[in-house]
Amino acid sequence: IGTASPDSGVEERPKWDNKIQYLLTCIGFAVGLGNIWRFPYLCQIYGGGAFLIPYLIALVFEGLPLLYLELAIGQRLRMGSIGVWKSISPLLGGVGIASMIVSFLVSIFYNTIIAWVLWYFFHSFQNPLPWSQCPLNDNHTGYDVECEKSTSVNYFWYRQTLNITPDIETSGSLQWWLVICLASAWCVVYICFIKGIESMGKAVYVTATFPYLVLTIFLVRALTLPGATDGLVYLFTPDWEILKNPQVWLDAATQIFFSLSVAFGGLIAFSSYNSERNNCERDAVLVGVINSATSLYASISIFSILGFKATNAYNSCREDNILDLTNHFELSDQNMTLENYYQWYDYLNSTFPDEVASLPLKSCNLQTFLDQSASGTGLAFIVFTEAVMEMPGSQVWAILFFIMLLSLGLSSMFGNIEGVLTPMHDLKIVPKWIPNEVLTAIICLASFLMSLIFTLGSGNYWVEVFNGYVGSVPLLIIAFFEIIGVIYVYGMKNFSEDIYFMTGSRPNIYWKACWMVISPIMLLAVLIAYVGLQAQKHPTYPTWNPDYELFPQTQVKDYPDWVFAIILLLCIVPVISIPVVALYELICCKIQRSSARAEPSPYCNDGFVVETQEQNNQRF
Amino acid sequence: MLEKILILLCLSSALAEQPCKPDASDGYKVRLSIKTALGDEAYVWNENEMFLFRATLAFAMRSHLNGQEFDVSNIIVCDETPRVTFWFVVTSPLNTSGLVDKGVVEEAIRMSRNRINSAFLLTDKTLEFIGITPTLTAPVNPDTPPWLIVFGVVMGAVGAGIIVVLVSPLVLKKRKKNEETDEDEEETGVKAVENGSTREGVYNMSFSDDERLTQM
């Protein structure tokens, strides 16, 4: 398998216009929404600066080797994920099919998130922002009850956007506004993908670079807001004790793995369009380092803004107390301010302790507000929108933020869709007379119809199910088989020769050690730990239930059995193809071999073959 | 005699003070937060401002109860604090010792709330009548939700883009095909002309040169 099977001369493999397009596409695929809303959260809950240590270790020993492996194998064998694994060994064809299935399932729910971002983007063109006010109730005597109890931002997200049902069993109906947002999201993806990598390569100039511009703008803006430095200090203050907790190491390893978007097949597809002699080692290191640097940069921006938000909340908490005290004790207006709050409070508490105790004063602590962390959609659609409300010129910031999320999501979607389309070409199940544009349209339409599930009332719960289970365990298994397949089935020697052919130098001891020993062991450990932790308790999920006694807290419910069965299906169906295809090939191969022995081929002259073998033996 | 006058005076003053007291059943408490509202441009609360308040309130009562001529003297204020809070009661012009009902006062204030607020450059939040909740402004509901407009613009652009990208290669192909058929026609036409042309042929110079030579 030293020489790659060339494509038939009629159909030329598409190529990148230039190196920059390729790099930007890979970076765009790797840098996604998780860099914005997952990494800062992890940094925060795992002791700030101290989290960087397990994160960087995981990057060096797990992330970069896997990335380099995928880019190299794709570039050498010049096929999508199914073709590559079939070339290495027919028994490994299932790995490619697993990648394709996972890419398809992930692209379905990922585009739903883009649809939500589009919804918020469309609504950012209003003054005042729709999530800043509670709507009035039916007879205009007060505000809507659900909105009163929680906040206007929560209400806008849970009621006006999602119209969420109290649990996953109540499906509700299709929300028409989400359906049209979803349709527009798929149309945007389609127009970027219409000409394959020609159109996508041009779209990626914008989608991959725009987030950095917005992050910089936000950073500059946030650093001028009061309280930004509190947020940054809080984020980066290291808590070295946390390193003793094994959960931290597990989360760092999983974060780097999912962040780099390996095992989707998209990276293999992208590098297969490269010229054969491209330095993929440099590319891999570049993409990996830029991905982590982006996570760090994003967390600085995000945390400056969260620090500002926490300071605001702290100040308004104290101002509420000031108002209560001023009104009760009939002090002159503005006599008690934020600056002299504590002196006044001590004085009043010492002179009139009973009266002060009777007032409904809140305890205001900046740490508590900084501790309020959120990740995922909660960070983007609740916490950040609330922060944006308090910044002057909120519409501009909201629009910028949502365009940034849109770019990040789109560039990751490109990788997912590529992970579905290229294997379909490789499988050659599509008749030649169907042009590529039509095939892409069919895939987009099929995905759109399937993702209508996520526009139901219980859609958000389903997105969480897919996010938690499709995008985790199957990927770890696929990556493990990838590394075993390349290093042990294809052979480290063959792979080194290929890399020497492509880059002009053989991989050094670091890469070899990682590929042969460290990365597989790490992957296996992470997989076992991850599955073990998940299996320990019955999975639960938080629900938004207005009838809950402790509303607005989310009510934690168990997944019902049928949902649990679906979860198991989602984990198993992608990876089942690996053993199934292997078995199929084994059985087919055995049948072929036995049938070949039964019928002697007229072209197969055993005597001649034996002679040449003896000649070969004599020569060496 | 003097004692009787004194007792009468005391009684009358006591009676006069009776209507307005904190927690009066027909009175309201007012709270102003001038510094919060105006910051550096805050005015000092003094007797004149209080007079303006009583006059504004009398205006509100007049506007609500058409015909009854309320005067500044009908608004009685008491229990003023440095916070700038005070209680007030409204006496009826027809019966100076009788108080106007709480509900009526509330309605009057609700109707003219805006005018009262603007007389003092304050808002519903900084000029509070304790017990009278401000009527909430109904949210502006435009006929077409603005988000649909943005959606329409974006989707229109995307749809136009898709159609352009899909149709333009077909149009180009058609144009190419047309050009090719035109070229074919031209070639066949030229061939026909070539065959039937009588102007082809090389001009033979030898006959024209002969005359010159023979003249010698």
Q: Which chain A residues contact residue B138 at CB under 8 A?
A: 136, 140
Which tokens in the block code for residue A460?
């958000």
Q: Do A191 and B155 touch (CB under 8 A)?
A: no
Report how many Cβ contacts below 8 Å link chain A to chain B: 69
Asked whether the beta carbons of A214 and A404 are under 8 A apart, the reply is yes
With an 8 Å Cβ cutoff, are A140 and B34 in contact? no
Convert the pLDDT of each residue in A95-111 to its tens digit.
999 999 999 999 999 99
Contact call for A330 and B83, based on CB within 8 A:
yes
Burial class (CB in 10 A: 0-12, 13-18, 19+), A591: exposed
What CA dihedral angle connects A602, A604, A608 and A611, to 10 degrees?
-160
Most confident of the ranges A403-417, A594-608, B143-157, B189-203: A403-417
Stretch A263-279: mean pLDDT, rounded?
Answer: 90
| Strand-strand pairing, B127-130 and B28-32 | antiparallel
Check whether A290 has a pLDDT greater than 90.
Answer: yes
Question: Is residue B2 a part of any domain in this protein?
Answer: no
A288 in Cβ contact with A64 (< 8 Å) = yes
CA angle centred on B146, ends B140 and B148, rounded to 5° = 135
Question: HEC states along A38-68?
Answer: CHHHHHHHCCHHHHHHHHHHHHHHHHHHHHH
- The answer to whether the Cβ–Cβ distance between B146 and A191 falls below 8 Å is no
Hey, which residues 30-59 in chain B have their CB within 8 Å of chain A?
31-36
CATH code of the domain containing B100: 3.30.70
B58 contact partners, CB below 8 Å, separation of at least 6: B70, B71, B72, B74, B75
How many angstroms separate the CA of residue B72 from the nearest CA in chain A? 26
A230 class by beta-carbon count within 10 Å (0-12 exposed, 13-18 middle, 19+ buried): buried
Give yes or no for residue A189 having a pLDDT over 50: yes
d(CA B203, CA B201): 6
Structure tokens at A503: 């880059």
pLDDT band of residue A616 (cuts 50, 70, 90) is low
Q: Which residues contact A549 (CB under 8 A, 6 or more apart)?
A: none
What does the pLDDT read at residue A180? 93
Closest C-alpha among A213, A209, A265, A282 to residue A19:
A282
Question: What residues are paired with A543 via a beta bridge?
Answer: A555
Is the torsion defined by CA of A52, A55, A60, A64 positive or negative?
Answer: negative
Task: Assess whether B49 and B112 both reside in one domain.
Answer: yes
- Is B152 contained in some domain? yes
d(CA A445, CA A438): 10
String of DSSP letters for chain B: -HHHHHHHHHHHHHHHHTT--TT-TT-EEEEE-HHHHHGGGPPPP-HHHHHHHHHHHHHHHHHHSTT----GGGEEEE---TTSEEEEEEB-SSSTTSBPPHHHHHHHHHHTHHHHHHHTT--TTTEEEET-PPPPPPPP--SS-HHHHHHHHHHHHHHHHHHHHHHHHHHHHHHHHHHHHHHHHHHHHHHHHHHH-SS-S----HHHHHHHHHT-
For residue B92, the distance in angstroms to the closest alpha carbon of chain A comes to 30
Do the domain assignments include residue B116? yes
- pLDDT band of A6, cuts 50, 70, 90: very low
Residue B154, in any domain of the structure: yes
Q: How far apart are CA B50 and CA A586, in angstroms?
A: 98
A470: nearest Cα among A449, A454, A483, A489 = A454
- Residue position matching structure tokens 């007879």: A139
Range of the domain at B73: 17-130
Output the CA–CA distances (angstroms, integers) from residue A563 to A43, A350, A536, A539, A541, in the order listed: 31, 58, 17, 10, 11
Cα–Cα dist A568/B84, whole Å: 67
Higher pLDDT, B131 or A33: A33
Query: Taking 60 as the threshold, does the pLDDT of residue B190 lie above it?
Result: no
CB contacts under 8 A, B 114-143 vs A, are 136, 138-139
pLDDT per position as a tens digit, A159-188: 999 999 988 888 888 999 999 999 999 999
The single residue listed with the structure tokens 């109290």 is: A166
Residue that is last in its domain, among B100, B130, B160: B130
Distance in angstroms between the alpha carbons of the first and the last residue of chain A = 22
Residue with the bigger pLDDT between B45 and B208: it is B45
Question: Taking a C-beta distance cutoff of 8 angstroms, is the pair A125, A399 a contact?
Answer: yes
φ/ψ of residue B32, rounded to 5? -115, 140
**pLDDT at residue A7, rounded to an integer:** 42
CB contacts of A398 in chain B (<8 Å) are: none
Least confident of A35-44, A92-101, A277-286, B95-104: B95-104
Last residue of a domain, one of B130, B154, B187: B130
Q: What does pLDDT average to over chain A?
A: 86
Give contacts of A331 with chain B, Cβ < 8 Å: 82-83
CA-angle at A405, arms to A400 and A406, nearest 5°: 95
C-alpha span between A312 and A520 (Å, rounded): 47
Q: Tell me how far apart the alpha carbons of residues A469 and A476 are, in angstroms, rounded to a whole number.
A: 11
Q: If we measure between CA atoms, which residue out of A174, A173, A170 comes closest to residue A183?
A: A174
User: Is residue B159 situated within a structural domain?
Assistant: yes
Q: Is there a single domain that holds both residue B167 and residue B66?
A: no
Q: Do B35 and A334 touch (CB under 8 A)?
A: yes
Asked whether residue B120 is domain-assigned, the answer is yes
Q: B179 and B99 share a domain?
A: no
Q: What is the mean pLDDT of chain B?
A: 77
By residue count, chain A amounts to: 620
Query: Which of the residue ranges A109-118, B69-78, B107-116, B132-141 would you say has the lowest mean pLDDT?
Result: B132-141
- With tokens 């932790």, the residue in question is A533
B59 and B151, same domain (yes or no): no
Whether B158 sits inside 8 A of A140 (CB atoms) is no
Chain B residues whose beta carbon lies within 8 Å of the beta carbon of residue A333: 32-36, 83-84
| pLDDT at residue B203, as a whole number | 64
C-alpha distances (whole Å) from B43 to each of B34, B144, B174 are 7, 44, 80
Query: Are A330 and B85 an interchain contact pair (Cβ–Cβ within 8 Å)?
Result: yes
Q: Which of A351, A306, A291, A301 is nearest to A325 (CA)?
A: A351
Annotated binding residue A412: yes
CB A460 within 8 A of CB A113: no
pLDDT at A310 over 50: yes
Tell me the per-residue pLDDT of B38-56, one tens digit each, with 9 for 90 and over: 888 888 888 898 899 889 9
Contact call for A136 and B138, based on CB within 8 A:
yes
Structure tokens at B101: 């009902």
Boundary residue ending a domain (B130, B154, B172) = B130
pLDDT of residue A185: 94
A445 is in an annotated binding site: no
Using DSSP's 3-state secondary structure scheme, residue A136 falls into strand
Please tell me whether residues B124 and B150 are part of one structural domain: no
Q: Find how far residue A472's CA is from the centre of its chain.
A: 10
From A134-138, A300-304, A408-412, B182-186, the region with the lowest mean pLDDT: B182-186
Say yes or no: B28 and B118 in one domain: yes
According to DSSP, the β-strands at A555-558 and B28-32 are unpaired
Task: Say whether A129 counts as a known binding-site residue.
Answer: no
In the predicted structure, residue B155 carries a pLDDT above the cut 50: yes
Percent of chain A residues topping a pLDDT of 90: 35
The partner residue sitting opposite B136, judged by closest CB among A118, A136, A187, is A136
DSSP per-residue codes, A317-384 = HHHHHHHHHHHHHTPPTTSS-SSSHHHHHHHHHHH-HHHHHHS-PPP--HHHHHH----THHIIIIII
State whether B31 and B120 are in the same domain.
yes
Q: Mean pLDDT: which of A284-293, A364-373, B176-185 is highest?
A: A284-293
Annotated binding residue A527 = no
Shared domain for B175 and B84, answered yes or no, is: no
The letter for the amino acid at B166 is L
Same domain, B28 and B125: yes
Buried b (16+ CB within 10 A) or exposed e, A9-35: eeeeeeebeeeebbbbbbbbbbbbbbb
Residue whose token pair is 């709050």: A341
Tens of pLDDT, residue by residue over A320-348, are: 888 888 888 877 777 888 888 888 888 88
* ipTM of this complex prediction, to 2 decimal places: 0.72
Domain-located, residue B6: no
The one-letter amino acid code at B211 reads E
CB atoms within 10 A of CB A564: 14
Position B148 scores a pLDDT of 86
| pLDDT over 80 at B30, yes or no | yes
**B24 and B125 together in one domain:** yes
Cα Rg, chain B, nearest whole Å: 49
Per-residue pLDDT band for A4 (boundaries 50, 70, 90) equals very low
Report the pLDDT value the prediction gives residue B184, as an integer from 0 to 100: 63
* Residue of A123, A135, A184 lying closest to B139 (CB–CB): A135
Separation between Cα atoms, residue B16 and residue B20, nearest integer Å: 8
The amino acid occupying position A393 is G
Structure tokens at B205: 């110079």
Q: Do residue B46 and residue B122 come from a single domain?
A: yes
Instruction: Say if residue A128's pLDDT is above 70.
Output: yes
Structure tokens, A312: 């605001």
Q: Please check whether residues B184 and B152 belong to one and the same domain.
A: yes
Domain assignment present for residue B5? The answer is no
Tell me which residue has tokens 């947020």: A231
Buried b (16+ CB within 10 A) or exposed e, A293-330: ebbebbbbbbbbbbbbbbbbbbbebbbebbeebbbbbe
Q: Given an 8 Å threshold on Cβ–Cβ distance, is A333 in contact with B36?
A: yes
Cβ atoms < 10 Å from Cβ of A438: 12
A-interface mutation test, from B30, B32, B147, B163, most A Cβ less than 10 A away: B147
Q: Most confidently modeled of A221-225, A236-240, A440-444? A: A440-444
> What pLDDT sits at residue A595?
64
Quote the number of domains for chain B.
2
